[in-house]
């Protein structure tokens, strides 16, 4: 999934019709000069893999999808408390859909580093009104949860995707519930809960180990009854990857794609972005919206991930990524 390299246009087909009348006596010197055939050949982006079972509007996309993040929580790492009330979250979700989000990912439990769990009852009270309202407006909704019971009730309320950051490891009933529902399942690389995950950032070969662990989780999900064509893989940026472990995964999405599944990239506002931006003046960013530089970096990653064939990107600030995936789609369509 490496981005396409720049290069000249493709060489002309020698068997193509030149447009000249074979019986004419036109001066050969006046014929168009053939395009040069030397130089690097453009690298085509890999075909965009998509899961089965999506609503028609999503299934018909010929570009990377944008998933907008709707946290109905008081303590999420970047926007906790902004949309903690369901009514506010519904307005936010509809606004993101208007701004270009193809999917709205609704979550009621923070997974920021160090976060503790919330009760099942609290999680349900947070997310179900939002899922029901957004789905009722025709929005494609994903439920961000590690609990099978939340997944069950959210799908019944209209969610079409289950986004499980634990990859099925937090709740043994998850695979069976997703299989029964027929929902698309996003399986993320995960080594432990938020209160311990930073201590699990230990890799000799982060790309190889994440790929291997995702392969094992993929096999387990299929053994649990989930159809392979409904599974999306997520490398889990920021989860048991506190800093530099994230960049090799982004630059080697092609290695993860060899597992044969669509890929979701969730880099939005993650803390590993900050060191890459450290030489930029901070006073300008401080004068603008919170996370201004991180949102710019996220849009850059969206472009590269889209060029690399990612099925979807999960973001907080929708509009820049909605632009980026469309530009990337046009770029790759011209190769």
User: How high is the pLDDT of residue 17?
Assistant: 41
**Does 169 participate in catalysis according to the annotation?**
no
313 — phi, psi (to 5°)? Answer: -120, 145
**Catalytic-role residue among 50, 126, 132, 270:** 270
User: How high is the pLDDT of residue 175?
Assistant: 98
User: How high is the pLDDT of residue 331?
Assistant: 92
168: left (phi over 0), alpha (psi -120 to 50) or beta: left
Average pLDDT along the chain, 335 residues, taken 10 residues at a time: 44 40 42 47 64 95 96 67 83 98 95 74 97 98 97 98 96 98 96 74 93 97 98 94 92 96 96 90 57 92 96 97 96 72
User: How high is the pLDDT of residue 243?
Assistant: 86
User: How high is the pLDDT of residue 84?
Assistant: 73
> What are the tens digits of pLDDT across the range 235-292?
999 988 888 999 999 999 999 999 999 999 999 999 899 899 989 876 555 545 657 8
User: How high is the pLDDT of residue 242?
Assistant: 82
Q: Which of 103, 93, 39 is nearest to 67 (CA)?
A: 103
And the tokens for 293? 């530089």
For residue 314, list its beta bridge partners.
67
Helix (H) or strand (E) segment spanning residue 144: strand 141-144
In this structure, what CATH number is given to the domain that contains residue 291? 3.20.20.20
Identify whether 32 is part of a domain: no
Helix (H) or strand (E) segment spanning residue 214: helix 206-223
Identify whether 27 is part of a domain: no
User: How high is the pLDDT of residue 12?
Assistant: 39
User: How high is the pLDDT of residue 44?
Assistant: 47
Identify whether 164 is part of a domain: yes
User: How high is the pLDDT of residue 33?
Assistant: 47
Identify whether 10 is part of a domain: no
Identify whether 21 is part of a domain: no
User: What domain count does the chain have?
Assistant: 1
R_g (Cα) of the chain, nearest Å = 22
**Does 147 participate in catalysis according to the annotation?**
no
**Catalytic-role residue among 202, 230, 314, 326:** 314
For residue 176, list its beta bridge partners.
none
Identify whether 304 is part of a domain: yes
pTM of the model: 0.82
Identify whether 35 is part of a domain: no
Identify whether 56 is part of a domain: yes
- Residue 279's contacts (CB-CB under 8 Å, 6 or more residues apart) are none
User: How high is the pLDDT of residue 75?
Assistant: 54
Residue 221 is part of which domain span? 46-333
Angle of CA points 206, 215, 148, to nearest 5°: 110
User: How high is the pLDDT of residue 202?
Assistant: 86
């Amino acid at each position: 999934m490496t981005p396409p390299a720049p290069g000249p246009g493709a060489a002309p087909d020698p068997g193509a019709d030149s447009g000249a009348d074979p019986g004419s006596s036109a001066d050969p010197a006046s014929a168009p000069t053939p395009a040069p055939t030397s130089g690097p050949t453009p690298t085509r982006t890999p075909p965009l893999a998509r899961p089965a079972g999506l609503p028609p509007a999503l299934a018909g996309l010929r570009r990377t999808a944008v998933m907008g993040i709707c946290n109905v929580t008081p303590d999420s790492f970047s926007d906790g408390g902004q949309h903690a009330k369901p009514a506010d979250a519904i307005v936010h979700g509809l606004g993101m859909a208007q701004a270009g989000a193809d999917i709205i990912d609704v979550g009621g439990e923070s997974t920021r580093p160090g976060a503790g769990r919330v009760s099942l009852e609290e999680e349900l009270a947070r997310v179900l009104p939002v899922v029901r309202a957004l789905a009722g407006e025709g929005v494609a909704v994903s439920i961000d949860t590690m609990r099978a019971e939340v997944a069950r009730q959210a799908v019944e309320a209209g969610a079409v995707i289950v986004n499980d950051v634990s990859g099925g490891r937090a709740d043994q009933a998850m695979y069976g519930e997703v299989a029964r529902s027929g929902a698309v399942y996003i399986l993320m690389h995960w080594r432990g809960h938020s209160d311990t995950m930073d201590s699990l950032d230990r890799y000799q070969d982060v790309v190889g180990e994440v790929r291997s662990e995702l392969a094992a989780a993929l096999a387990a999900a299929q053994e649990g009854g989930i159809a392979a064509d409904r599974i999306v893989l997520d490398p889990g940026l920021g989860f048991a990857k506190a800093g530099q472990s994230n960049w090799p995964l982004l630059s080697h999405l092609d290695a993860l794609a060899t597992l044969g599944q669509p890929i979701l990239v969730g880099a939005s506002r993650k803390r590993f972005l900050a060191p890459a931006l450290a030489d930029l003046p901070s006073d300008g960013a401080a004068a603008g919206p919170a996370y201004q530089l991180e949102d710019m970096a996220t849009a850059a990653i969206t472009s590269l991930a889209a060029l690399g064939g990612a099925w979807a990107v999960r973001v907080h600030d929708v509009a820049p990524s909605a632009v980026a995936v469309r530009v990337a789609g046009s770029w790759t369509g011209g190769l």
